Each structure stands twice: as C-alpha cells, then as structure tokens.
Amino acid sequence: SSELTQDPAVSVALGQTVRITCQGDSLRSWYATWYQQKPGQAPLLVIYGKNNRPSGIPDRFSGSTSGNTASLTITGAQAEDEADYYCNSRDSSGNHYVFGTGTKVTVL
C-alpha cells in the first residue's frame, strides 16, 4: 500500500513542543518530506531528506524517521505555525508520489 496516514488534528500550547506523525510502508524505503499549508496559500516545503530545512525555515522544525513512521517536530511552537501539515513520500516504484492525509495544528 502507498497510503500515508496522519492524525487529523493536534493542538499545542504556545511555546511548547508538538510532534506530528506520518505512517506508511513506503517510509521504510523513502524519507518523508513535510509541507506546511496555511489557509488560501500554496504549500511550503519545511523538511526534506533525513532532516533538512530549506533556507528560511526556522530551526524549531525538525524531522525524523523510525521504521514506517516519520515525524515532524515543532519545538517551541509559535502562533504562525498554526497550519495544515502534510507528509509526502515516493511509493514502492519510486516514480509515483503520495501525500499523507494531513494534520491540522492549532496553537493555543
């Protein structure tokens, strides 16, 4: 299966740490990439590869993988981190891609 499953929603208190998980068989072969999407905006790449951040992404965002589960951690969440987050991976063929179901993060 090429499905990637995420929790629909999580909440975090301002300044605290939140972890968003993504589960799927393809994650045993390929690293997940993570995207942030705010209402009315295009997605934004926040993590790729083992744990790499594009230029301009704050270092409070980090990624990790264990077995078939990838995680995105926001350490010291800020109000501007409130958004939908999607994981993505290649499938077993390596030629197709699949997005996770998405997680809505609310910063309290």
For other proteins, give the closer residue by CB, 1 or 17. 1
Which position has the token pair 């800020």?
A: 78
What is the footprint of other proteins within residues 26-55 (CB under 8 A)? 31, 33, 35, 37, 42-45, 48-49, 52, 54
- Could you write out the DSSP letters of every residue in 24-69? -GGGGTS--EEEEE-TTS--EEEEBTTTB--TT--TTEEEEEETTE
For other proteins, give the closer residue by CB, 41 or 79. 41
Which position has the token pair 């197709």?
A: 96
Interface positions with other proteins (CB under 8 A): 31, 33, 35, 37, 42-45, 48-49, 52, 54, 84, 86, 88, 90, 95-102
